[in-house]
């Protein structure tokens, strides 16, 4: 028998809000069944939620995560899905390297500007030897 989860159980397990889970549901990523007013999530929904959150930690957009998750088919070879994920990981890594380089450049420019400002202050402050 397949395990089922309530929205509160998933929220607690993944340390997210129930609103976040409802958001993913609104976006069509999770498809719980209903028992009266209660949402009942399947093991598949739990796995999708885990993958969505992993994608988020990796810097993937919700659409990027959706595309990769939707490629999964247990009846066939999932190499294309894995290759797409690898490609996205490499894209994110390159973007972060560029951002890191930009940050390092900006830090150097800030250091240089601060040094010039401090030097200008020192040059304009009258020395104690002058009358």
For the stretch 6-62, pLDDT in tens is 999 999 999 999 999 999 999 999 999 998 989 999 999 999 999 999 999 999 999
Please give the sequence-ordered ranges of beta strands (E in DSSP) within the chain, or none if there are none.
4-6, 33-35, 38-42
pLDDT given for residue 78 in this prediction: 84
Give the CA radius of gyration of the chain: 26
pLDDT given for residue 128 in this prediction: 54
Q: How many CB atoms lie within 10 A of CB 10?
A: 22
* Phi-psi category of residue 38: left, alpha or beta, with phi > 0 → left and psi -120 to 50 → alpha: beta
pTM score above 0.85: no
- pLDDT over 90 percentage in the chain: 77
Distance CA 81, CA 67 (A): 9
């Amino acid at each position: 028998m397949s395990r089922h989860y309530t929205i509160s159980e998933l929220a607690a397990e993944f340390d997210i809000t129930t609103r976040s889970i409802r958001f993913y549901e609104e976006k069509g990523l999770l498809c719980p069944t209903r028992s009266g007013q209660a949402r009942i999530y399947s093991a598949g929904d739990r796995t999708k939620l885990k993958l969505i959150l992993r994608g988020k930690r990796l810097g993937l957009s919700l659409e990027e995560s959706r595309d990769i998750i939707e490629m999964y088919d247990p009846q066939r070879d999932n190499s294309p899905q894995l290759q797409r994920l690898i490609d996205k990981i490499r894209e994110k890594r390159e973007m972060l390297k560029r951002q890191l380089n930009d940050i390092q450049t900006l830090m150097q420019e800030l250091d240089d500007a601060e040094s010039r400002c401090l030097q200008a202050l020192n040059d304009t402050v009258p020395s104690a030897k002058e009358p």
